[in-house]
Amino acid sequence: GCVNMGEQTPAVAVASVAAAAAVAAAACVIAGRNIREYLAEEGSIEDAASKPAAPARPHAYTLENSVQVPLVGFGTAFFVDEVRRPELAYAAVATAIELGYRHIDTAMMYGCERQVGRVLGDYFQSGKLKREDIHITTKIAHPPASNYPTAKTQYMYDPKLSAYSGVLQEYYQSLENLGVGYVDLLLIHWPGVMRDGPVFPVPTAEAARTKRLEMWRALEYLYDKKLVRAIGVSNFTEEHLEQLLPCCAIPPMMNQIEVHPYLSQQSLVVYCQRRGIAITAYSPLASGGFKLIEHPTIVKIAESHGSSPAAVIFAWLLQRGIIIIPKSSSPERLKENLRAGSIKLTSDEMRLISALNCDRRSCPDPNLII
């Protein structure tokens, strides 16, 4: 998810490690169909941003390894004036579950894993829900930052610390926080440290690749040990993936990135989908910025469908095969978000929304990570 990277601690170069054997890109299944079969029937992925929805949209996206991810999740990055407010998760997560959300997205950095775990634990204890009823995504490996004072991720840049061991220890802490024995999807939150950060010196390309590979090896280990059901990345660019994919024993199954009409990320979305890597959009409303939901094009389309501008944006993302994790404290908005899949945008409407792209970000730019 989107957070302010803030001030960071100095980074230092690390030695290289040997890369593993190359692996073929995995196939991703949407509604039971291989993505390549889908393209043969429906057209190229490049056309996806302008295609209308299929008659019956699935409620879950099936990953390469058959793990299903609900298309509409609930994000738990609660910040007020860039200050973490994990206590807000108690009521918000409980409300989301009561309204029917079964996909909860969290992260070690958000500081609310314990709160999420406590709410879920109450449902498990009461018998209202079973563990397998809930899809939990969490993220580890976020660089230290001014709004992340409890960070123990110095392993991301310190050559004296093992990124492999650091990721394992951080994930074991996540399991303890959440009070569960596994999560459904574990992501590397950021691919490294910002090259133009206020304190970090620029790491060498070799050092950055080494740290990323060490972190990914740890996720592969956790997957092999069945401590996670699926593994992936977040905020990885095409360049980061180009470096990582040839070295994977198990390729990433997900890339969670910022996507909204002002940042369509079409090239990266196509790149990932062609390689069987699913996409989750965080900050789908541009973190409430840029007056996105007031844009005349979006407002006009929303009026024609009798829906809100936000719901139209969510429909645009879902019709591109992108999972969404919007966040809201309003029960009415939460209900509306779940109904976004019922909106069927036309090809022209999809094109009009896609044409709003201006590569404008509301969150830090991962292209600044070497």
Q: Which pLDDT tens digit goes with each residue over 232-258?
A: 999 999 999 999 999 999 999 999 999
Q: How confident is the model at residue 329 (pLDDT cuts 50, 70, 90)?
A: confident
pLDDT at 26 over 60: no
In a domain, 319, yes or no: no
What is the model's pLDDT at position 1?
A: 61
Pick from 212, 214, 192: which is nearest to 11 by CA?
Answer: 192
Alpha helices in the chain (DSSP H): 35-42, 89-99, 113-126, 163-178, 205-224, 238-244, 266-274, 296-305, 309-318, 331-338, 347-354
Position 194 scores a pLDDT of 84
Q: What is the mean pLDDT of residues 156-185?
A: 96
Q: Domain of 106: which CATH number? A: 3.20.20.100
Q: Say whether pLDDT at 14 is over 50.
A: no
Where in the sequence is the domain holding 161, given as residue range(s)?
68-252
Tens digits of per-residue pLDDT, 259-315? 999 999 999 999 999 999 999 999 999 998 899 999 999 999 999 999 999 999 999
For the chain, the domain total comes to 1
290 in any annotated domain: no
Q: Is residue 305 part of a domain?
A: no
pTM: predicted TM-score of the whole model, two decimal places: 0.86
The band of 133, judged by pLDDT with boundaries at 50, 70 and 90, is very high
On whether residue 246 sits in a domain, the answer given is yes
What is the structure's pLDDT at 22? 28
- Residues with Cβ < 8 Å from 206, sequence gap 6 or more? 13, 16
110 catalytic per annotation: yes
Domain presence at residue 3: no
Residue 201 is predicted with a pLDDT of 58
Q: What is the mean pLDDT of residues 183-187?
A: 98
CA distance 4 to 211: 22
Closest CA to 183 of 108, 125, 256: 108
Cα Rg for the chain, rounded, in angstroms? 20
Query: Alpha carbon of 349 to those of 65, 232, 341: distances in Å?
Result: 33, 31, 15
Of the listed ranges 156-160, 200-204, 207-211, the least confidently predicted one is: 200-204
Instruction: Report the pLDDT value the prediction gives residue 10, as an integer from 0 to 100.
Output: 33
Whether 292 maps to a domain, the answer reads: no
CA–CA gap between residue 157 and residue 234 (Å, rounded): 18
The catalytic residue among 38, 101, 110, 271 is 110
Structural domain contains residue 30? no
Residues facing 169 on adjacent strands = none
Domain assignment present for 77? yes
The pLDDT score that the predictor gives to residue 4 is 44
- Would you say residue 196 has pLDDT above 80? no
Average of per-residue pLDDT values in the chain? 86
More confident residue, 57 or 177: 177
- For residues 72-86, average pLDDT: 94
Q: Are β-strands 79-80 and 68-70 bridged in parallel, bridged antiparallel, or unpaired? A: unpaired
DSSP string, 52-119: PPPSS--SEEEPTTS-EEESB-EE---EETTEE-GGGHHHHHHHHHHHT--EEE--TTTT-HHHHHHH
